[in-house]
A and B are shown apart, each in its own frame.
Chain A
Amino acid sequence: LAKTTQPISMDSYEGQEVNITCSHNNIATNDYITWYQQFPSQGPRFIIQGYKTKVTNEVASLFIPADRKSSTLSLPRVSLSDTAVYYCLVREYGNKLVFGAGTILRVKS
């Protein structure tokens, strides 16, 4: 059964690195994996996108293994303002866009 799964929640402390993994076993061959951040009552905000191996931008890194059936979002040094829900988004075969169920990240001081 094709499914896009993420851990339900994670706790961290300020200054720590946080890694969130998404499993997407039905990802279409030629499409990117995208990660979003969402705060309550707001639209998802783009964090990072990649196709394979490793991508890094000013806020995060994204690690994608060769089979592309999973991806890991890495937030290098989280702060209290990073408390949010994090989603992966992939396109599956049949041209369906599928979000993971989301990971609630709680950052504590």
Chain B
Amino acid sequence: ETGVTQSPTHLIKTRGQQVTLRCSSQSGHNTVSWYQQALGQGPQFIFQYYREEENGRGNFPPRFSGLQFPNYSSELNVNALELDDSALYLCASSSVGSFGETQYFGPGTRLLVL
């Protein structure tokens, strides 16, 4: 157990809808990263938040947005859902050190878009 929790565990939405996924980071961590993992593929980096500011972003369109709260928990919002957004969404928390960080992952949220 990493101490990183995500909710909900599973979610079904229809195309065009909006979704919010939540992540509670491990105690003492100030950084949260979000990833999308399609079936049979490696996780793809969406973005990272450090102390409530976006700290890096992958190749995802603006309809993928996020927030980090003062307690370092985080939300991932996806607008105008598309069928290809169906995936496992992973959250990882970390604490930035001198030479980077060690990311610890939650169990993920499985999103199905119909």
Listed in ascending order, the chain A residues whose CB lies under 8 Å from chain B are 30-32, 34, 36, 41-46, 49, 51, 87, 89, 91, 94-102
A49 to chain B: closest residue by CB: B102
Listed in ascending order, the chain B residues whose CB lies under 8 Å from chain A are 2, 4, 33, 35, 41-45, 48, 55-58, 88, 90, 92, 99-108, 110
Given A42-B108, A45-B105, also A30-B42 (CB < 8 A): no
A85 to chain B: closest residue by CB: B42
- CA of A29 to CA of B110 in the docked complex: distance in angstroms? 34
- A91 in contact with B100 (CB, 8 Å): yes
- B58 in contact with A96 (CB, 8 Å): yes
- B104 in contact with A46 (CB, 8 Å): yes
B88 to chain A: closest residue by CB: A41
